[in-house]
A and B are shown apart, each in its own frame.
Chain A
Amino acid sequence: MTLLAVRELSASYGDFQALFGVSLEVAEGELVAVIGANGAGKSTLLRALAGALPAARGRVEFAGRSLEGRAAAGRVALGLVLVPEGRRIFPSLSVEENLRVGAYRGRPGPWTLARVQALFPILRERAREPGTNLSGGEQQMLAIGRGLMANPRLLLVDEISLGLAPLVVKHLYEALATIRAESTTLIVVEQDVSQVLALAQRVYCLRKGAVSLEGVPARLGRAQLAAAYFGT
């Protein structure tokens, strides 16, 4: 079943147009990778889907419902949740409070404070500390955990591995596999291609704000990917 259908989506930051008619589909239970070079429009796409950026043109349907005119907060209530680029942990809230904020307008479901803390034990150990005391990788865990607290049907994860050590990234991808096993659908945006392609069922490559390649990772050759990624 199609959970998310995006047709001819365009979006701009003021006068600068960053997305040019992007179309994509995500089925329930899938993990879809969105890859592309810096400035290809990956984060813009996620922000437009989450309602953080108004779509200039195009249609977005989520679970059969148009998202037009629905602000970010309302999309969370439907089960569409973004883990934003740069983690965006709330500094005046403790680790646990950051998690609880995630459940502010969430839906009921499998993800509770205890489940999230079991997935990322560090979030229990340091529950009372300010969220921003955590290291970069731990903050990424907190940001993902905070998103899960809303019990999303579709979790959008932006630049999951940016600036993190390889071992931490590996740990985060193991967590993504666990999350998918809970039948949460995921869109993961990455610049670092190798990790995400090992896990994703399908991949979209963006270049200059448009889809340059779509396919199943195992069936795509390196040369084909490189051409779509770099535009040679």
Chain B
Amino acid sequence: MAWLDTVLQGVLLGGLYALFATGLSLIFGVMRLVNLAHGDFSILAAFLAVVAVGTWSINPLLALVVVAPLMAALGYALQWLVLDRLLGRGMLPAVLVTFGFSVIIQNGLLELFSADSRRLNPGGIETASLALGGGLAVGWFSLLTFAVAVLLLAALHLLIGRSAIGRAFRATSDDDATAALMGIDTRRLHGLAMALSLAIVAVAGVFLGIRTTFTFSSGPDRLLFAFEAVIIGGLGSLWGTLVGGVILGVAQTVGAKLSPGWGVLTGHLVFLAVLLLRPSGLFAPSRRVDS
């Protein structure tokens, strides 16, 4: 029963990883941009939530109402002012610039908030749990995280698969020059994709900050897990990203159960195994049409 519990915790943790991964794979899909500051943006969002909670004494989950749009606006502005100039010149310029963002964010957070570790307090839900019988119990907050992850992924899936803006995302991803000839303002669309990406990662960051403590330098680990979830699941598949997150989450909790120091290592090993055996990921679509 203890093992079943471990696996269940891992599955629920996977939802959070999928949230981190989704924003990353969205912008890579739309504009082939690798955002090395993705994890740092999530931590920035968590710190913004700290400020919002401190200022208005509100629940951190409620703070998302402010933090997510703020991060979206930041994403749109950064894309419009900086990142869009780097597209079409290969991967490297964007990698370097987003690496620069990462350094700037970390040092800015260190300057403003010191190196102390923080935690967001949602007022009790983080410790409450639901007994499933047979000695099994899951935390309400873990359940909520997973539910939010699935809902957001489903919404994004619908947006990309069914809406005009989703078609425009996919057309731009295929061939941005031709998309422009169809009347799609690709610069604006790239801005929207980045805004969406950072809004999602803001949700992920705040949930992370409730789940565990974080410091100014917690971002890069998040980025690594996000990459692993995307690659395990397969690029371009939203549900694959969820499964990738779940596999990574289960690997980490099972590893940690075997020996407390093994959690992250086991995750990496599973990731490497997938990379070795199925480099395109478990659910990579060959050519996605009716997503």
Determine the distance from Cα of A186 to Cα of B167 in the docked complex, in whole angstroms: 27
Asked whether, in the complex, the Cβ of A91 is within 8 Å of the Cβ of B182, the reply is no
Partner of A52, one of B174, B181, B185, B186: B181
Asked whether, in the complex, the Cβ of B183 is within 8 Å of the Cβ of A77, the reply is yes
Main secondary structure of the interface of B (DSSP, over half): helix
Asked whether, in the complex, the Cβ of A93 is within 8 Å of the Cβ of B182, the reply is no
Asked whether, in the complex, the Cβ of B184 is within 8 Å of the Cβ of A104, the reply is yes
Partner of A92, one of B168, B170, B181: B170
* Given A90-B175, A93-B171, A105:B184 Cβ within 8 A: yes
CB-CB contacts of B148-174 with A at 8 A, as 1s and 0s?
000000000000000010011011011
Asked whether, in the complex, the Cβ of A105 is within 8 Å of the Cβ of B167, the reply is no
Q: Is A124's CB within 8 Å of the partner chain B?
A: no
**A contact residues, range:** 20 to 34
Considering the complex, which residues of chain A in the window 68-126 have a beta carbon less than 8 Å from any beta carbon of chain B? 71-74, 76-77, 81-82, 84, 88, 90-94, 97, 100-102, 104-106
Partner of B181, one of A82, A97, A106: A82
Partner of B174, one of A90, A94, A102, A128: A90
Q: Is A207's CB within 8 Å of the partner chain B?
A: no
Asked whether, in the complex, the Cβ of A73 is within 8 Å of the Cβ of B184, the reply is yes
Asked whether, in the complex, the Cβ of B180 is within 8 Å of the Cβ of A72, the reply is yes
Q: Is B178's CB within 8 Å of the partner chain A?
A: yes
CB-CB contacts of A35-56 with B at 8 A, as 1s and 0s?
0000000000000001110000
CB-CB contacts of B258-291 with A at 8 A, as 1s and 0s?
0000000000000000000000000000011110
Q: Is A21's CB within 8 Å of the partner chain B?
A: no
Residues of A within 8 A of B184 (CB): 73, 101, 104-105
The count of A-to-B residue pairs whose CB atoms sit within 8 angstroms is 81
CB-CB contacts of B109-134 with A at 8 A, as 1s and 0s?
00000000000000000000000000
Measured CB to CB, the closest approach of chain B to A50, in angstroms, equals: 6
* Given A92-B170, A130-B287, A102:B182 Cβ within 8 A: yes
Residues of A within 8 A of B177 (CB): 52
Chain B count of residues within 8 A CB distance of the other chain: 22
A-B contact pairs, 27 of them (CB 8 A): A52-B177, A73-B184, A73-B185, A76-B181, A76-B183, A77-B183, A84-B181, A88-B181, A91-B287, A92-B174, A92-B289, A93-B167, A93-B171, A97-B167, A97-B289, A100-B167, A101-B168, A101-B184, A102-B182, A104-B167, A104-B182, A104-B183, A104-B184, A128-B290, A130-B287, A130-B289, A150-B183
Chain B residues with a Cβ under 8 A of chain A: 164, 167-168, 170-171, 173-175, 177-186, 287-290
Chain A residues with a Cβ under 8 A of chain B: 50-52, 71-74, 76-77, 81-82, 84, 88, 90-94, 97, 100-102, 104-106, 128-130, 132, 146, 150
> Which 4 pairs between the two chains have the least Cβ-Cβ distance?
A105-B183, A76-B183, A88-B178, A72-B180
